[in-house]
Structures are given as structure tokens and as C-alpha cells.
């Protein structure tokens, strides 16, 4: 008799969510994590005494509120606090700010273009229409369009019904939307280069594509469809860093009797006679279970921890060709005080949000050109925040932590492998760029953690450091994620499942893949579905 | 075009209008709301007294936050004729017309008033901001469009003594101004425009000046009106009057099409009871094809004015056919102090076999924190609830 009913590999947020649901259903679940700490990319670590970094993912919006509520994450210590503000700074000393008050936000747009101030309303309405369309699918298993099973037919019907409800005109627009570039999409509304550049960031984050690349419009939507307490499109900080999210999920797992083992890297998923048998750790230890769920990306799952002889050729080939490009790096900086941004008037709340320094598509596209040439961007896109202005737990009073998401940063350099020197040079490029806007910034730096795709892959385990566990391109979404025929969380071997962002609905710290995979596993076991449904809009 | 705000604009959510210093003195409770980015009074002293200033004497309301656009150029008339549903060739210089404009799907983007100053010179006053829509709609037309919202201050002067007050102010010749007419006066080195327009269904005028003359206008107006019951009013009082007058309000009675996210939440002019504004015989205007189709196939909704039994306003009530089948919802409701009627607008779903003679409102109301429910019969009212002859009398009476 197996000690465990199921083993989940990887204690990132989706692995933890999946394991929590399996445990809640009454299964004996073990989650194994190769690092000495949990969280995967939702992790907060103290690398400099007194400062908590939010090392990888740094803001939350997409986390499904249904899961947040259902797993009692609040009681397990999670609090997502919305932040106000945000701005795109220009070299001329101006900026486009994003205020939380509607009228102030409008005036700020009007300061740059009266046309765009009005257009933003039309843009928001259109984006909300698409969000409203997509959101119900986040907590649903994608239909297999080639299947005639009642469940798939009913899912396809649901898809059709929702498409119909978009209305005829919107349906055309929506279909165009999936293959458009974010630049083309924004050009339909706005005239100001600064406005367009500021809004385009959401279409580029985590994506090895430029503003003019087809497919980036969808990525923008992907970042808009979340909410905080019903405030759609709002983002917030997990109090205590994104690691609190993983800790809360681990709390939920343990509440339901699940077990957690760190420092337990898996060498291989064991398969015998076409059935999953368990895992073998790198230490040689074998742990049996009839169900093994991989929270690793599709490439790593099928090419690293499975024996290719156990897999259909098609799966191996699909895994080899799976698009999972690295495009981003991260700097986490301990600061001795608050950096000054003199372009903001005294008391301006914009500094509390996400700050950016790329002011037109040209800069963004050139930044992407650098990536194509196998080097990091000379003038990067940054998504930089100072969470300590909102969250009092991350640094001593008066001190600050800055989280800087950086793009573009390739996984492989044209001049050979990443080295510590090159990593430092990359970090310096980013610091120099920020210092252009903040005269005292460099003097305040106490410690910097610099992470290129190389570190993200080596430490977190995301192939090529891709934050979404696979590109969010149309050919890898919905029933094609990760591969056609394998979008319903079941692997090619009986008893083997996938639950990471590599599956529908993709990355962004939603926890939806983990819950969706649990639903399919429970269905296969003939157990009652305990995963939550979408709250619904109407 | 950029707006002239500096970086400091974030310090207050709502900006003061040019009349703010006088209004702030009168506001007993500092009860303001944000009207398109400007401070607008809910009331100054007492909603009832302010309402009766509209119907009994002379009310003054700050209209400055209204979105105002100047449209000038050779093609101005052709441009408007193309954008709005109404036949604009009939609107002569010196006249004002109310209209709606639609998107290509024939759904109402907004409503507003169009002032024709001269052959090639217009002003559009709208509920929503329309700058982008005007830009989109003006492609190919020789027109110049500027946003005048910030620069033009406006007061709505409404009520039976409003004519007397303006005469007392020395605006000579105003007695010949007909409803929807415009007249200009020189004013302290600037200009004062008076239009016989309003949102109350009563005798009334709207006064338009450059922002720098705003306080002078306010002071002269109140001085002239001191023996005529003049009173500053907020939007709460106006809301009662406009429902009595049968005027719908964007944002209350329908959602402008560019803001609707959910299917079928937009409305066509026919569905708002504004079919009289749609001139399908015009060669071309935005939404015409869809509106012709709707005319053939039928509309989804109709907006009705309801006279409801009892005295409990049917705020947000469901309306039922025969107390069984949901027919629609109330969009605006109020007890009419002048008509002594319980009145409302409701948006009803159109179904051919449902006559409108057995409509009921399910009304929830609160007494000492306790909620009660009552069924009341509703009768469809075709005419405005209140439309006194003085509204159109030219010359108007003094009270």
C-alpha cells in the first residue's frame, strides 16, 4: 500500500494549490520541493539583513479570488493590498501618471492629449468587454475541440454562448485581438507616443516580443483581467512579499493534512507498464504514489524529469518545440532611504506604484532589438516599484526595498554563457538607467540581488527564466496549452498530470492551473469536485 | 490638443468652477459631488426649497462642468448632419437643438444640445466627454474642434420669475427671445450669451460667459433677483424637475454606448422614446442603417413614463406585467411635489403580446430601518408630467 495517493512536484503557487485541493478532498498528498524554501517564483527571502525581497513575481492581481476565499488564504496569512500610483517617466523631466481617482487620471492624460483622455474611456470599455469574456474560462478546463465527449461539447457550447454574447461587432474585434500587436491595438485608440508606451508595458511583460510583434495585444489583456476585491485591472502587493502567498497556500495544504518536503529535488517520474508509479529523488530515494502531478513547465517536465522512452514521440517532439523564451531579469535592491524622483511634485502619490522609463514604442522596440541580438537592452523596459511605501513589513522604518522587473534580458547571450561579470554588467545597466531619473538612487543602495534568466532557471527552475512557464502566444493558449491534445491537465502516461502555468490559463500567479488540474484528477478518481467555480459577473 | 493643467492638478480630485467662491459661501453643509471633474453642489440649503425655486420663483444652477465643444468651419453643418440623428439643415443660426448621436450600431453614444451661433459656427453641449468622438466623426469634414469646457462658465436660470430677473438685469430685448433661441449681449468688455433653454420643462434661460466674467454675472444676477425669489440650487432639486419634465438623463436612464460592456445594455434612440429625433429621410448619418433595420425588425426596449399609485417612489423597482412576468426596471423615480404624483421612467422589454395596461411596480421602502414591500399599479403617461404654458409664452410673464 502506498503511503501517498498523490505526489506534487514543485512547491510553487500552482503546485501548492493543486496539493491543497487534493488534500482537501481527502487524499494523502506529498509535495516535494527541490529548494530549501517553498514558493517557486512566489517567494520572499531575506538576502540582506532586515530586508525582505520579493525575489521573482512581485505584484498580485490575477490570483483567483474564488481560490483565495475557498482555501481560506486570508486566515493563513495572505493579504493583498492594492497600491495606487504608477508613472512613465520621460527624459524631458515630465511623466504620465496613473492616478486612482478617475478624474485626476483623466486630467493627467489630458495634460498629454485631450483626445487620448477621452479615448482611454473607450479603450477601458473595450478591454473590460474582453476581460469579461475571458474571466469565466480561467477556472474551467479547456474544451477539446476534436472531442465529442459530452463534457467537451458542453464546454464548446459554453464558449460559443459567451462569444455570441460579445455581440457581432465585438466578436470580429475580439478575434482580431488575439493576433494583433499591442502597438497596433493601442494605435486604434491613442495619438500620444507617451500614452501608448505607458499602456503597452502590460503587453510586453514576460514576453520575448516587441510592441510591434503580433500576439502582444493578448498579453496586455492577460494582465488586465485580474482584480482586487472586484476592482478589475487593479494590482496590489502581497503583504510581506509574494512569499506570503506561497506560505498561505502551504498553510491551507497542511490544514488539510498534506505534507511538504523541501530540499527534495526529483530526478525522475517513475513509470511502469504505462502507469505512473511515483518519483525518485536525486538522493535516490523512491516515493510511491499512483498519481504524480508536475508543477514544472512542459519542457522541464517531459525532457528533464521523465524518461523519454515512457513518452509518446509526439509529446517529446512537442516539448522540444514548446515556446518558452526567456526575456526578463529582476533586480531587488535594499535602499538606505527613499530614492528621490525630482520630476514628481512634493507629495505626489505616483511613486507608490509601478514606474517606467520607456517613453515610446521606438525605445521599446530597440530594447527588443538588443534581445534579438543576444544581449540585454541598453535602455531597458523596467517595471519598478517600491513596495515599502505600501507594505511596512519589508524593510526597517525609513528604509526601502525596490523591486525592478527588467526587460529585455536573453537567456542565452550572443557572446557565450552568462557569467557573474556579465550579470553584474546587466545589473549596472539597469541601475544607471534608473539613476538618470533619481540623483540619490545609487548612494542609497545597500545590496542588490541581480537575476538574469540564467539565475531564474537555475534557482527557480523556470526553463529559460520564462515567467509564464511558456510563451502566452495564441498557439499556446486555451486548448493548445501546453500542447494540442494535452490541455486538460492529463499527461501522456496514466496517473501523470500537469498543474503549472505551462497549462491553461497560463502564468501571472492566478493559481487557476493548480485548481483546474485538481478538478480533473478528482474527476478521474471519481471523487466529488471541490474546486471553486468562477464567481461570475452577472 | 493638450489641456492646460500643470503637474499639481492631482492635489484635488474635483476642481472649482468659476462660480465656486459664491457657491461655497452659500453651501450650508459643503455637500458637493464630482461632476466630470468639477465640484458641483448636491444642494445648498434644502432640496425642497430649491426645487420650489424652480417651479415658483427663480433658480440658479452652475452648469459650467457641462462638456462644451466649439465646432467651426465650412463643413460644420454637414458634419453635424452626418454625426447626429436629427436633420440639422433645419437648425438655423441663432437657434438651439436637442439631439442624440449614435454609433454604427445605432446605439446612443450621448445626447446634448447644439447651439448654432452662425452659418459655420456651433457649440455642442454634451453629458459625456466627446472630444475623441468628435475627432472620429469629423474625418473628411472641414471643421475645427476645440474643447471649451474649461473656458466657458454657464448658469441655468429657471423658473416663473426668471424672465423678470433677466429683464431687471437690463438684458433688453430678451422678451422676444423664443424657446430654443439665442441672443448675445455685450458684457463688461466681454460677451454674455443667453439661450432660452433648460432642463426643467419650465420657463428658463441659460447664461454663458467667459470664466473671468463669471462672478460679476453671479453678483448682478442675484442682485437683480433679490425681489424675485432667486435661489442657488444643486443637482438634487434639478433631478426632480427634469423627471417631471420628462427629460431623460444619460448615466441614469441609459448607459452611453461607448461605456456599455455587456451585450444589450446599450439603447437606441427608439428605445429611449426619442424616435422623434431620428430623421431617417436624411441621406446619411452615423447609425442610420442600423436604425432603419431596427425600425423594420422592432426594438428590444421601450422607455415609458409611469404614473404609479401610492406615494412611495419606485426607486430601482422591477416593473411586472400582471404582477407575474418581469417587464423591466425603473431608471428614475421621484415623488412630484408639483403634480402630486408618484412618477417614474422605466425601461421595459418589448414583447408584442404584452399590453401596457397591467403594469405593476414592486416597491421597496424603508421605515425606521425596516424594509417593507408594496405592489402598486402603474399607468403609462405619454406626455411630460409637467409642462406649463409659461414654458413657451413669448413674451413670458413676469411670474
| Residue A1 pLDDT > 60 | no
* B146 to chain A: closest CA residue: A114
ipTM of predicted assembly, 2 dp: 0.93
Measured on CA atoms in the order A225, A227, A232, A236, is the torsion positive or negative? Answer: negative
Q: Which of A471-475, A503-507, B3-7, B49-53 has the lowest mean pLDDT?
A: B3-7
Q: Do B129 and A103 touch (CB under 8 A)?
A: no
CB contact (8 A) between residue A166 and residue B260: no
Separation between Cα atoms, residue A233 and residue A489, nearest integer Å: 28
On chain A, the residues whose CB falls within 8 A of the CB of B127 are none
HSE-CB of A402 using CA atoms within 13 angstroms: 29
The pLDDT of A283-307, averaged and rounded, is 97
Please give the Cα distance from A503 to A488 (Å, whole number): 8
Is the pLDDT confidence value at A301 over 70?
yes
Instruction: Supply the CATH number for residue B198's domain.
Output: 3.30.1360.120
On average, the pLDDT of chain A sits at 95
Whose CA is closest to A368, among A383, A381, A356, A357? Answer: A381
Strand partners, B235: none
Bond into A408 cis (ω within 30):
yes
Q: Give the torsion sign (CA, B254, B257, B260, B266).
A: positive
Across A241-270, average pLDDT: 98
**pLDDT band (50, 70, 90) for residue A170:** confident
Cis peptide before B395 (omega within 30 of 0): yes
CATH code for the domain in which residue A251 is found: 3.50.50.60
**Would B332 be classed as within a structural domain?**
yes
DSSP H or E segment with residue B107: none
Asked if A25 and A53 touch (Cβ cutoff 8 Å), the reply is no
- Is the CA virtual torsion B22, B25, B27, B33 positive or negative? positive
Over residues A154-165, the pLDDT tens digits come to 999 999 998 888
User: How far is it, in rounded angstroms, from Cα A190 to Cα A186?
Assistant: 6
A538 pLDDT higher than 80:
no
Range of the domain at B380: 300-385
Q: Which residues of A lie closer than 8 Å to B, measured between beta carbons?
A: 94, 97, 99, 101, 103-104, 106-108, 110-119, 121-122, 125, 128-129, 132, 165-167, 169, 344-345, 347-349, 538
Same domain, A389 and A447: yes
CATH of the domain at A95: 3.90.660
Worst-scoring range by mean pLDDT, A226-235, A266-275, A431-440, B34-43? A226-235
Query: How close, in Å, is residue A332 to chain B by CA atoms?
Result: 30
Q: Where among B113, B128, B147 does a domain terminate?
A: B147
Percent of chain A with pLDDT over 70: 100
> Mind telling me how many Å the CA of A161 is from chain B's nearest CA?
12
Residue A283 phi/psi, 5-degree rounding, is -75, -10
Is residue A2 pLDDT above 80, yes or no?
A: no
Q: What is the pLDDT of residue A165?
A: 84
Bridge-based pairing of strands A29-32 and A6-9 is parallel
Distances (CA, A) of A83 to A42, A132, A229, A355, B46: 18, 23, 13, 12, 39
Minimal CA separation from B276 to chain A, in Å = 27
**Burial tier of B119 (Cβ tally within 10 Å: 0-12, 13-18, 19+):** exposed
Residues B367 and B322 occupy one common structural domain: yes
Sign, Cα dihedral of B266, B106, B71, B94: negative
Q: Which residues is B374 bridged to in the sheet?
A: B363
CA-to-CA separations, A41 to A9, A82, A355, A462, B105, in angstroms, rounded: 14, 20, 22, 9, 46
Domain presence at residue B276? no
B261 and A107: CB-CB below 8 Å? no
Determine which of A125-129, A188-192, A534-538 has the lowest per-residue pLDDT on average.
Answer: A534-538
A265 close to A282: Cβ distance less than 8 angstroms: yes
In sequence order, the 6+-apart residues with CB closer than 8 A to the CB of B185 are B171, B191, B192, B193, B194
| Chain A touched by B104 (CB under 8 Å) | yes
Give me the number of domains chain A comprises. Answer: 3
Count each helix (H run) and each strand (E run) in chain B, helices first: 8, 19
* Cβ-proximal residues to B113 (8 Å cutoff; 6+ apart), any chain: B96, B97, B98, B99, B124, B125, B197
Is A34 part of a structural domain of the chain? yes
Measured between alpha carbons, how far is B203 from B179 in angstroms, rounded to an integer?
9
pLDDT band at A173 (very low <50, low <70, confident <90, very high): confident
**Which residues of chain B carry a pLDDT beneath 70?**
352-353
Identify the domain containing residue A503 by its residue range.
6-43+60-80+239-322+470-524
Residue A141 lies in a domain: yes
Task: Report the CATH number at residue B106.
Answer: 3.30.70.1400
Number of domains in chain B: 3
Q: Are residue A364 and residue A307 in the same domain, yes or no?
A: no
Q: In angstroms, rounded to a whole number, what is the distance separating the alpha carbons of residues A10 and A25?
A: 20
Same domain, A213 and A265: no
Enumerate residues 6+ apart whose C-beta is below 8 A from A421: none
Q: Are residues A69 and A91 in the same domain?
A: no
Same-domain status, A164 and A269: no
Same-domain pairing of B28 and B171: yes
Spatial contact of A60 and A326, defined as CB atoms under 8 Å apart:
no
A159 & A125 share domain: yes
Same structural domain, B19 and B156: yes
Measured between alpha carbons, how far is B29 from A133 in angstroms, rounded to an integer? Answer: 44
Would you call A106 and B37 a contact, using CB atoms and an 8 Å cutoff?
yes
**What is residue A171's predicted lDDT score, i.e. its pLDDT?**
85
Residue owning grid cell 432667486? B230
B contacts of A132 (beta carbons < 8 Å): 261-262
Judge whether B11 is closer than 8 Å to chain A, CB to CB: yes
- Inside any domain, residue B39: yes
| Whole-number pLDDT of residue A273 | 93
pLDDT per residue as tens digits for the range B30-74: 999 999 999 999 999 999 999 999 999 999 999 999 999 999 999
pLDDT of residue B352: 65
Identify the DSSP state of B250.
B
Q: Do B132 and A538 touch (CB under 8 A)?
A: no
Q: Is B88 in the same domain as B17?
A: no
CB neighbourhood size of A264 (10 A): 21
A372-390 burial by CB neighbour count: b if 16+ within 10 A, else e? eeebbbebbbbbbbbbbbb
B219 and B77 belong to one structural domain: no
* A41/A501 Cα distance (integer angstroms): 11
Question: Which of the listed residues B103, B130, B147 is the one where a domain comes to its end?
Answer: B147
Residue A231 has pLDDT above 90, yes or no: no
Q: Of B244, B269, B285, which residue sits at a domain end? A: B244
Residue A494 bridge partners (DSSP) = A275
Amino acid at each position: 500500500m502506498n503511503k501517498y495517493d498523490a505526489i506534487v512536484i514543485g512547491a510553487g503557487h500552482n503546485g501548492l494549490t493543486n496539493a491543497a485541493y487534493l488534500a482537501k478532498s481527502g487524499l494523502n498528498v506529498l509535495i516535494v520541493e527541490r529548494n530549501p524554501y517553498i514558493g517557486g517564483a512566489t517567494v520572499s527571502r531575506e538576502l540582506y539583513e532586515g530586508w525582505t525581497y520579493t525575489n521573482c513575481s512581485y505584484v498580485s492581481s490575477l490570483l483567483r479570488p474564488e481560490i483565495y476565499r475557498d482555501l481560506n488564504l486570508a486566515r493563513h496569512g495572505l493579504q493583498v493590498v492594492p497600491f495606487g500610483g504608477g508613472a512613465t517617466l520621460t527624459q524631458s523631466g515630465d511623466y504620465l501618471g496613473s492616478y486612482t481617482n478617475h478624474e485626476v487620471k483623466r486630467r493627467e492624460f489630458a495634460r498629454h492629449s485631450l483626445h487620448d483622455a477621452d479615448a482611454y474611456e473607450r479603450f477601458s470599455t473595450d478591454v473590460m468587454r474582453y476581460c469579461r469574456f475571458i474571466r469565466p474560462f480561467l477556472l474551467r478546463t479547456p474544451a477539446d475541440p476534436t472531442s465529442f465527449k459530452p463534457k467537451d461539447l458542453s464546454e464548446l457550447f459554453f464558449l460559443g454562448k459567451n462569444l455570441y454574447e460579445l455581440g457581432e461587432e465585438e466578436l470580429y474585434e475580439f478575434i482580431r485581438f488575439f493576433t494583433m500587436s499591442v502597438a497596433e491595438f493601442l494605435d486604434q485608440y491613442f495619438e500620444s507616443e507617451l500614452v501608448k508606451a505607458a499602456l503597452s508595458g502590460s503587453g510586453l511583460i514576460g514576453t520575448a516580443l516587441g510592441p510591434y510583434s503580433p500576439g502582444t495585444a493578448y498579453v496586455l489583456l492577460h494582465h488586465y483581467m485580474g482584480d482586487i476585491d472586484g476592482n478589475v485591472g487593479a494590482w496590489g502587493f502581497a503583504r510581506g512579499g509574494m512569499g506570503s502567498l506561497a506560505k498561505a497556500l502551504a498553510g491551507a495544504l497542511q490544514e488539510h493534512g498534506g505534507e511538504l518536503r523541501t530540499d527534495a529535488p526529483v530526478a525522475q517520474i517513475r513509470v511502469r507498464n504505462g502507469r505512473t508509479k511515483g518519483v525518485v529523488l536525486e538522493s535516490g530515494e523512491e516515493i510511491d504514489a499512483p498519481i504524480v502531478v508536475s508543477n514544472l513547465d512542459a519542457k522541464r517536465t517531459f525532457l528533464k524529469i521523465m524518461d523519454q522512452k515512457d513518452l509518446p514521440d509526439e509529446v517529446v517532439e512537442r516539448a522540444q518545440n514548446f515556446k518558452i523564451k526567456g526575456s526578463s531579469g529582476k533586480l531587488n535592491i535594499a535602499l538606505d532611504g527613499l530614492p528621490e524622483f525630482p520630476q514628481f511634485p512634493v507629495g505626489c502619490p505616483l511613486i507608490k506604484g509601478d514606474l517606467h522609463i520607456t517613453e515610446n514604442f521606438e525605445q521599446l522596440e530597440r530594447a527588443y532589438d538588443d534581445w534579438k541580438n543576444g544581449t540585454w537592452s541598453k535602455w531597458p523596459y523596467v517595471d519598478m516599484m517600491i513596495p515599502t511605501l505600501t507594505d511596512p513589513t519589508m524593510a526597517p522604518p525609513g528604509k526601502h526595498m525596490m523591486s525592478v522587473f527588467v526587460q529585455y534580458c536573453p537567456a542565452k547571450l550572443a557572446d557565450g554563457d552568462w557569467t557573474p561579470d556579465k550579470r553584474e554588467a546587466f545589473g549596472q545597466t539597469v541601475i544607471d538607467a534608473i539613476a538618470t531619473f533619481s540623483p540619490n538612487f545609487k548612494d542609497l543602495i545597500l545590496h542588490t540581488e541581480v537575476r538574469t534568466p540564467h539565475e531564474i532557471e537555475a534557482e527557480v527552475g523556470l526553463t529559460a527564466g520564462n515567467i509564464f512557464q511558456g510563451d502566452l502566444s495564441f498557439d499556446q493558449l486555451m486548448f493548445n496549452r501546453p500542447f494540442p491534445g494535452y490541455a486538460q491537465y492529463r499527461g501522456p502516461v496514466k496517473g501523470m498530470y500537469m498543474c503549472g502555468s505551462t497549462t491553461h490559463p497560463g502564468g501571472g500567479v492566478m493559481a487557476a492551473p493548480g485548481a483546474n488540474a485538481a478538478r480533473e484528477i478528482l474527476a478521474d478518481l471519481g471523487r466529488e469536485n471541490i474546486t471553486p467555480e468562477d464567481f461570475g459577473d452577472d | 490638443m493638450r489641456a492646460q493643467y500643470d503637474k499639481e492638478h492631482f492635489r484635488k480630485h474635483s476642481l472649482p468652477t468659476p462660480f465656486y467662491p459664491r457657491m461655497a459661501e452659500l453651501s450650508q453643509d459643503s455637500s458637493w459631488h464630482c461632476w466630470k471633474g468639477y465640484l458641483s453642489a448636491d444642494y445648498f440649503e434644502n432640496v425642497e426649497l430649491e426645487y420650489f425655486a424652480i417651479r415658483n420663483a427663480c433658480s440658479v444652477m452652475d452648469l459650467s462642468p457641462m462638456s462644451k465643444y466649439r465646432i467651426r468651419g465650412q463643413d460644420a453643418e454637414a458634419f453635424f448632419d452626418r454625426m447626429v440623428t436629427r436633420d440639422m439643415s433645419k437648425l438655423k443660426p441663432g437657434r438651439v437643438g436637442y439631439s442624440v448621436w449614435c454609433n454604427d450600431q445605432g446605439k446612443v453614444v450621448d445626447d446634448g444640445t447644439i447651439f448654432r451661433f452662425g452659418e459655420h459656427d456651433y457649440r455642442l453641449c454634451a453629458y459625456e466627454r466627446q472630444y475623441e468622438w468628435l475627432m472620429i466623426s469629423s474625418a473628411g469634414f472641414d471643421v475645427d474642434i476645440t474643447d471649451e469646457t474649461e473656458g466657458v462658465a454657464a448658469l441655468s436660470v429657471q423658473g416663473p420669475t426668471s424672465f423678470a430677473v433677466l429683464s431687471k438685469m437690463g438684458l433688453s430685448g430678451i422678451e422676444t427671445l423664443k424657446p430654443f433661441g439665442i441672443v448675445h449681449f455685450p458684457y463688461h468688455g466681454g460677451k454674455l450669451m443667453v439661450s432660452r433653454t433648460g432642463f426643467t420643462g419650465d420657463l428658463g434661460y441659460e447664461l454663458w460667459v467667459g470664466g473671468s466674467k463669471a462672478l460679476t454675472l453671479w453678483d448682478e444676477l442675484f442682485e437683480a433677483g433679490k425681489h424675485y425669489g432667486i435661489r442657488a440650487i444643486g443637482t438634487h432639486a434639478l433631478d426632480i424637475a427634469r423627471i417631471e419634465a420628462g427629460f431623460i438623463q444619460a448615466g441614469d436612464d441609459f448607459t452611453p454606448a461607448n461605456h456599455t460592456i455587456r451585450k444589450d445594455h446599450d439603447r437606441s434612440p427608439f428605445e429611449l422614446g426619442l424616435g422623434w429625433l431620428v430623421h431617417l429621410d436624411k441621406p446619411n448619418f452615423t447609425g442610420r442603417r442600423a436604425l432603419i433595420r431596427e425600425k423594420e425588425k422592432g426594438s428590444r426596449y421601450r422607455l415609458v413614463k409611469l404614473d404609479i399609485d401610492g406615494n412611495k417612489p419606485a426607486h430601482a423597482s422591477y416593473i411586472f406585467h400582471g404582477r407575474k412576468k418581469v417587464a423591466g426596471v425603473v431608471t428614475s423615480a421621484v415623488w412630484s411635489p408639483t403634480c402630486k404624483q408618484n412618477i417614474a421612467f422605466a425601461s421595459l422589454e418589448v414583447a408584442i403580446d404584452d399590453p401596457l395596461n397591467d403594469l405593476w411596480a414592486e416597491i421597496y421602502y424603508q421605515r425606521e430601518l425596516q424594509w417593507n414591500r408594496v405592489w402598486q399599479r402603474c399607468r403609462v403617461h405619454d406626455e411630460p408630467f409637467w409642462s406649463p404654458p409659461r414654458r413657451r409664452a413669448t413674451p413670458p410673464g413676469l411670474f
